[in-house]
Amino acid sequence: MATTSDAVDLEDSRARLCEEFAGISGTDSGVAQCYLAENEWNMERALNSFFEADLEKVFEAEWSSDKESEPATKRQKVEGKTPTESIDLTADSPGSSSKSSDTDNAGLSLISWNVDGLDMENLAERARGLCSYLALYTPDVVFLQELIPPYVQYLKKRAVSYLLIEGNEDGYFAGMMLKKARVKLVESEIVAYPSTQMMRNLLVAQVSFKGSKLCLMTSHLESCKGQGGERMKQLGEVMRRMREAPDDITVLFGGDTNLRDAEVAKVGLPAGVCDVWERLGKQEHCRYTWDTKANSNKSVPYISRCRFDRIYLRPASREGLPRWAPDHMALVGMEKLDCGRFTSDHWGVYCSFTTTPPT
């Protein structure tokens, strides 16, 4: 027979589930309760049900406006774009053709960005904004979080110079884009987090770049302040893989970690692994990647400034191999689009890396 205490515990548990669901889906507690109750309070089933709605219509107008007769070399800067113009990401970035040249630029460039595909408002225009930044920076590697299937289909249609690797087939998930002309995929895998309640996993790709072996990893670690324990377990798995990778492989991890500094301190970074932002001098202008003071996409009654999006590097250490090191970091996506909103509620993180000759 259920006791009053059992009823209180059940109510508290369901309230926490509603809070987590609302945080992930960007809805309120009423919507969360509805989906959870319909799915017997199973978080994964409820989220799948929520995301199973037909989202293709969000991009329908954008896709139908494509002009098949447009030249394949057409390019578009971030400024002055119009909704019907397509962006060819096969070309070099504007004004930097020598830097983007496959033969002249030996450095590696990376963008990591939670693109907030769960937010349906202005989603097509915000997706175009992402493509504009990719055309502008032409990164070799792109780590993306909070993708949804229609967003992936949009990127496959527009970013034809990239190979897109998906961390799932439904719901919301992380993804990885590799510039075909410069980064060669060897193999990829999806690593499950055994105790996640939020459909999170680790996407891993083994690649070859300019003669170097790289292991690229991206993830969206568990969200919400109360999920610190699970988040630290997930970070521990990431760090284990970085530590145990062969010494002839350079490992790069980036993503929306949702980490607090105290959580990182508890897990600890293995020898040889560095936080790129810290290695580059903890530059203040790159500190806050989630900043409700500057980013108005989320209407919240408080100011929250956090370094949720992080990049970690473990260079190859074998004697005779070039050693990779970070040389630059910047935040991207800080300009409002024509719709009056930003590309995402997170800023993107741009990093570049160079090598020192083997000793």
Q: How far apart are alpha carbons 18 and 13 in whole angstroms?
A: 9
Half-sphere exposure of 87 (CA within 13 A, CB side): 32
Q: From residue 308, how far is each of 124, 173, 196 by CA, in Å?
A: 25, 17, 18
Q: How far apart are alpha carbons 32 and 104 in whole angstroms?
A: 52
Number of other residues whose CB lies within 10 A of the CB of residue 256: 27
List, in order, residues 6 or more apart from 121 with CB less than 8 Å away.
341
Which residues are tagged catalytic? 256
Q: What token pair was written down for 303?
A: 């100011």
Report which DSSP code applies to 227. G
**DSSP, residue by residue, 215-247:** EEEEEEPPPSGGGHHHHHHHHHHHHHHHHHS-T
Residues facing 109 on adjacent strands: 352
Token pair 């490992």 in the structure block, residue: 251
Q: How far apart are alpha carbons 274 and 216 in whole angstroms?
A: 15
